């Protein structure tokens, strides 16, 4: 290492003191100070004198390097602070999303109420109303906002919506299926809540039926997922549609009627269901879509047992339509031969009563 580099290095180590002297002293006195500094720092070299211009050049170089290092240090410190802030923001975002998922049923209701439909059927979103709902949520549930803008919390709601909607839909389907299963009892409770006075005027005792639904949730479902009471009433309305369709199966006269009946059953339970062409259906009458899964359905409305032909048809149709699962749905039972073939080909043999529970489990 050269004498200049060594001198610059020593000056950099003592730069805060030298810089203060440079600002305090007259130029001539500062050069004298540098001269004394060099004698003290380099006394071991046996050399007692360095040109003042040389010493000043060394100081200027030490100053440049020190400023550059200080600037780099500030940038690094700023980068680390940004990383810490980003990490804190990410952690806060995850926390907000988790809390919104936890309280999603309430937020979903608030979001739906902010959608306004005018007399022309045009839907608009009342952003100010939902903003107030989010502010209330932040103030009373989160109890902190970390100085985040309102747009941040709306973004978190959108993220929570993606996570919660799937869980919400699955729970809704489960509730509906349980209500369909116990519909006879629920229908009796619902009818009892319809009170007719002495003038023949019918009124609905909402409080009474609310208590019946609460009992059902508590004793049958054994969980409510923090859903508001109106959620369960809405599920009852959907279960009623499914169950009432089921009660009208005796009105079916033809195979096409039965296909439409089974399709309505699937749609009412919340599944996407399409019908294949009437001619050339390749052994499949309906295709149900659940997320990315496709189920081929062959419908049979017979007055006798269902045989091998129906199973063979749906096996071929499943391959033709590239479906993940296949099943036969009928109003009648199946022959032993049909059951053996279905078991070997992994085809489900169902009735319209067992179809929805089967689809929900997939």
Residue with tokens 């810089």: 19
Position 149 in a domain: no
The span from the CA of 204 to the CA of 279, in Å, is 48
Q: Residue 132: what pLDDT?
A: 92
**Mean pLDDT rounded to a whole number for the chain:** 87
Q: Residue 334: what pLDDT?
A: 94
Residue with tokens 């439909």: 117
The span from the CA of 251 to the CA of 257, in Å, is 9
Q: Residue 46: what pLDDT?
A: 47
The span from the CA of 35 to the CA of 41, in Å, is 10
Say if residue 242 is in the same domain as residue 272.
no
DSSP 141: I
DSSP 68: H
Q: What is the mean pLDDT of residues 316-339?
A: 94
Say if residue 277 is in the same domain as residue 349.
yes
Residue 350, beta-bridge partner list: 329
Using only the alpha carbons of the chain, give its radius of gyration.
39
The span from the CA of 126 to the CA of 258, in Å, is 44
Q: Residue 85: what pLDDT?
A: 80
Domain boundary among 44, 64, 88: 88
The span from the CA of 73 to the CA of 271, in Å, is 60
Angle in degrees, CA 295, 296, 301, rounded to 5: 125
Say if residue 272 is in the same domain as residue 335.
yes
Q: Residue 120: what pLDDT?
A: 82
Say if residue 273 is in the same domain as residue 311.
yes
Position 165 in a domain: no
The span from the CA of 191 to the CA of 240, in Å, is 12
Residues 6+ apart with CB under 8 A from 51: none
Say if residue 60 is in the same domain as residue 12.
yes
Position 159 in a domain: no
Phi-psi region of 222 (alpha: psi -120 to 50; beta: other; left: phi over 0): left
Q: Residue 307: what pLDDT?
A: 93
The span from the CA of 125 to the CA of 137, in Å, is 19
Say if residue 232 is in the same domain as residue 271.
no
Q: Residue 338: what pLDDT?
A: 94
The domain of 54 spans 3-88
Position 353 in a domain: yes
Say if residue 305 is in the same domain as residue 229.
no
Q: Residue 264: what pLDDT?
A: 82
The span from the CA of 155 to the CA of 88, in Å, is 17
Instruction: Work out the angle between the directed axes of helices 308-320 and 336-345 (0-180°, nearest 10).
Output: 20
| CATH number, residue 342 | 3.40.1350.10
pLDDT tens for residues 152-187?
999 999 999 888 887 788 888 889 988 888 887 888
Indicate whether 74 pLDDT > 60.
yes
Indicate whether 344 pLDDT > 90.
yes
Position 253 in a domain: no
C-beta separation of 58 from 14 below 8 A: no
- Higher-confidence residue: 294 or 89? 294
Q: Residue 47: what pLDDT?
A: 54
Residues 6+ apart with CB under 8 A from 347: 311, 314, 315, 318, 326, 327, 328, 341
pLDDT band at 272 (very low <50, low <70, confident <90, very high): confident
Share of the chain above pLDDT 90, in %: 40
pLDDT tens for residues 231-250?
889 899 988 887 776 556 66
Domain boundary among 88, 105, 131: 88
pLDDT tens for residues 12-47?
999 999 999 999 999 899 999 988 888 887 765 545
> Own/partner pairs for 162-167, CB < 8 Å, 24+ apart?
163/97, 163/101, 164/100, 164/101, 164/104, 164/108, 167/101, 167/225
Q: Residue 87 CA to chain centroid, in angstroms?
A: 21
Say if residue 207 is in the same domain as residue 277.
no
Domain boundary among 70, 88, 106: 88
C-beta separation of 255 from 269 below 8 A: no
pLDDT tens for residues 226-235?
777 888 898 9
23-27, 263-267, 268-272, 350-354 — which is least confidently predicted? 268-272
pLDDT band at 353 (very low <50, low <70, confident <90, very high): confident
Q: Length of the chain, please?
A: 362
Position 172 in a domain: no
Specify the number of domains making up the chain: 3
Position 213 in a domain: yes
Indicate whether 209 pLDDT > 60.
yes
Indicate the pairing of strand 325-330 with strand 348-351: parallel
Indicate whether 137 pLDDT > 90.
yes
The span from the CA of 259 to the CA of 253, in Å, is 11
Position 146 in a domain: no
């Amino acid at each position: 290492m050269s004498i200049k580099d060594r001198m610059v290095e020593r000056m950099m180590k003592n730069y805060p003191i030298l810089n203060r002297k440079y600002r305090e002293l007259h130029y001539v006195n500062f050069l004298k100070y540098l001269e004394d500094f060099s004698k003290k720092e380099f006394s071991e070299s046996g050399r007692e004198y360095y040109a003042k211009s040389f010493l000043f050049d060394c100081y200027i170089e030490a100053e440049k390097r020190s400023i550059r290092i200080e600037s780099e240090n500030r940038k690094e410190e700023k980068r680390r602070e940004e990383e810490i802030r980003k990490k804190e923001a990410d952690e806060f975002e995850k926390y907000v999303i988790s809390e919104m998922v936890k309280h999603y049923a309430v937020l979903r209701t608030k979001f739906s109420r902010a959608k306004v439909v005018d007399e022309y059927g045009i839907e608009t979103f009342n952003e100010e109303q939902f903003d107030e709902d989010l502010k209330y949520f932040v103030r009373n549930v989160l109890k902190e906002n970390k100085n985040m803008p309102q747009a941040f919390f709306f973004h978190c709601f959108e993220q929570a919506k993606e996570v919660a909607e799937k869980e919400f839909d699955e729970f809704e389907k489960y509730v509906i299926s349980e209500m369909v299963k116990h519909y006879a009892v629920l229908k009796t409770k619902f009818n009892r809540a319809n009170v007719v006075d002495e003038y023949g005027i019918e009124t609905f005792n909402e409080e009474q039926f609310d208590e019946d639904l609460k009992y059902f949730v508590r004793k049958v479902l054994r969980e409510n997922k923090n859903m508001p009471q109106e959620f369960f009433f809405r599920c009852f309305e959907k279960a009623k549609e499914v169950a009432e369709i089921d009660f009208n199966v005796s009105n079916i006269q033809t195979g096409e009627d039965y296909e439409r009946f089974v399709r309505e059953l699937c749609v009412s339970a919340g599944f996407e269901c399409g019908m294949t062409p009437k001619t050339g259906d390749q052994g499949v009458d309906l295709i149900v879509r659940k997320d990315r899964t496709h189920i081929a359905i062959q419908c049979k409305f017979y007055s006798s047992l269902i045989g091998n032909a129906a199973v063979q048809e749906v096996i071929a149709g499943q391959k033709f339509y590239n479906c993940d699962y296949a099943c036969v749905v009928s109003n009648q039972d199946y022959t032993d031969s049909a059951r053996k073939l279905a078991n070997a080909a992994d085809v489900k043999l169902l009735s319209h009563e067992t179809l929805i529970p089967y689809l929900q489990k997939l």
